[in-house]
Amino acid sequence: MDAGTLNQSLRKVLDIDNEVYSTRLAFLFCLVLSAFLWWIPVLGPAVAGYVCGRKTGSMVKGLLCSLAAGTVLILAVWGLSALVLGHGGYPGVPADEAAGRLTGIVGAAASYLKAFFVGGTSGIDLMGLGVVTVFGGVGGLLSRQARKEAAFLIATGSTEGSVRPVARSMLAYGRNKELGFKSFDDCIATQRMTTNENRDASPGRKTEAERANPKEGRPVATTVQTVTTTVAGSSATQSKDRWSPFSDILERSDLKQNK
């Protein structure tokens, strides 16, 4: 087997491409954690089952996966006990007594295996299997609940209790403070434009020239007023009260044509 095939097989077994929820990875975590933490009463199997359930993301998957991992571990311990503890008289004598008769590497392995047995007996303690299975379901249930809560926060926009404050520039403009370009109104004034003014709707804002000659320079009905210059033939007329940025260009064009 070459390195590429081995790497692909490992990625498939460990499910590296999808590490959020993975039954295979949950089974592996539960098996390893149970093997290392089983000697801690109740707490060790509970941690292994909870991690397994959270990794599966489902209560049913957590129950089945933790039960399968715990069963595999119990069967492995039962087979190893027959080989290791058998040298000390197991199963005719209790597992802890058989482990006390052994020394060296075999004695160390026997001391580890006796943690899986009920004290003073030759029977394997199945309470740990029940604990790891129950907490596997609990972990899967909490994982599903966390996913529902995340979906709810996304649907509601996550705005409850955390409204974004108004920008400081908007607050300063509301208090008539000078901004980077002095103010928005001053910027518009340099372009000879007025905003949010409709003098037809408010006659009191009309100038004296507009009242005397209402047809001349009638403003548009939009919120932004601009001044246009009409060219008729070879002459360009412009109101004295108004100014257009294109007036100089039109006058030069007319002079060239008259020449």
Question: Any idea where the domains of the chain sit in the sequence?
Answer: 10-156, 176-243
What ranges in the chain are assigned the alpha helix state H?
3-14, 23-37, 43-56, 59-84, 95-100, 104-113, 127-156, 168-174, 184-189, 208-212, 247-258
pLDDT at 232: 44
Please state, in angstroms and as integers, the Cα–Cα distance from residue 43 to each residue in 103, 140, 240, following that order: 29, 18, 92
pLDDT at 239: 47
Question: How confident is the chain (259 residues) per 10-residue block, as mean pLDDT?
Answer: 71 60 91 92 94 93 95 93 87 87 88 88 89 95 89 69 60 64 53 51 56 54 46 45 62 70
pLDDT at 203: 54
In the numeric block, which tokens belong to residue 67? 């039960």
d(Cα 204, Cα 202) in Å, to the nearest integer? 5
pLDDT at 213: 62
Say if residues 128 and 38 touch (Cβ distance below 8 Å): yes
DSSP state of 75: H
Q: Indicate the pTM of the whole model.
A: 0.55
pLDDT at 68: 95
